[in-house]
Amino acid sequence: MDEFLTWLQTYSPMLAKGLLETVYMTLMSTLLAYVIGLPVGVLLVVTEKDGLVPMPALNKAVGFIVNILRSVPFLILLIAIIPFTRFVVGTTIGSTATVVPLVIAAAPFIARLVEGSLKEVDRGAIEAATAMGASPWQIVYKVLLPESRPSLLLGAAIAVTTILSYSAMAGIVGGGGLGDIAIRFGYYRYKTNVMLVTVAMLIIVVQVFQEIGTKVSKWGDKRL
């Protein structure tokens, strides 16, 4: 028991800081990645062959870029863009520096999630809006986005949890957060206890984010 208390005294400040860093990295990256990913997702749907404003060449080009970014393993991306990260935030270690590669990795993923959600919208509703004289832009913000809101929120929960697990990888380059602790103590110094606790904390954080996403999505869905 005493042993446990000393252990707690030794590690809890670090774990608490790691938890905060993880949550900060995850939420910040998700938010910024949506700023890029949401419009790109809309663009992918709208410019499709039978979309509201068909532009097949642009659609292909954007889809291609999205696929390329999604193909690069996160660990490689993390290291490859170090110069860019330094250019943007002035440093390459710490949580804020990790946000940069996280955003770049997550934005194309979010674009695909958004694309999937928007494509679920009933074509009949889009057709009705078209028949009423709605412009493509009006259809996007008055039909596509509001009608797919529950699906977009579920997608956001997936995005948050995925970004969270990516953020844990940033420990490799000293990115901070729980993943960093797990790698430094559990992997480099064989402190299995610390590693197990950080993993358990990550599991809990994922559960919480997922649960919130599912609840909010259901709560706002007027079809239920």
Partner 1 sequence: MEPIIHTKNLCKAFGDIPVLSDINLAIYPGEIFGVIGRSGAGKSTLTRCFNLLERPTSGEIFFDGVEITSLPPRELYKTRQSIGMIFQQFNLLMQRNVLDNICFPLEIAGVPRAQAKARALELLEVVGLSDKAKAYPAKLSGGQKQRVAIARAIAPNPRALLCDEATSALDPETTDEILALLSDINRRFGITIVIITHEMRVIETLCTRVAVISGSKLTVEEVLQNG
Interface with partner 1 by CB under 8 A: which residues?
Answer: 122, 124-125, 127-135, 138, 142-143, 146-147, 149-150, 221-224
- Of the pair 135, 193, the CB lying nearest partner 1 is at 135
Q: With contact defined as beta carbons under 8 Å apart, do 106 and 123 qualify?
A: no
Residue 15 Cα distances to 35, 56, 81, 104, 169, angstroms? 30, 49, 28, 27, 16
Give least dist CB 136 to partner 1, A: 9
Q: How far is CA 46 from CA 62, 126, 138, 162, in A?
A: 12, 12, 12, 26
Nearer to partner 1, 143 or 197 (CB): 143
**Residues 19, 90: contact at Cβ < 8 Å?**
no
With respect to partner 1, which residue has the nearer C-beta, 139 or 168?
139
Q: How far is the CB of 137 from partner 1 (least distance, A)?
A: 11
Amino acid at 140: V
Question: In whole angstroms, how close is the CB of 128 to partner 1 at the nearest point?
Answer: 4
Q: Which of 8, 19, 13, 23 is nearest to 163 (CA)?
A: 23
Residue 114 has a CB neighbour count (10 Å cut-off) of: 28
- Which residues lie closer than 8 Å to 18 by C-beta, 6 or more apart? 176, 177, 178, 180, 181, 198, 201
Q: Is 117 left (phi over 0), alpha (psi -120 to 50) or beta?
A: alpha
- For residues 38 and 129, which CB has a smaller minimum distance to partner 1 in the complex? 129
- Write down the least CB distance from residue 49 to partner 1, Å: 15
In the bound complex, what is the minimum distance in angstroms from residue 143's beta carbon to partner 1? 7
| Rounded least distance, CB 146 to partner 1, Å | 5
The smaller minimum CB distance to partner 1, of residues 21 and 147, is found at 147
Smaller CB separation from partner 1, 26 or 151: 151
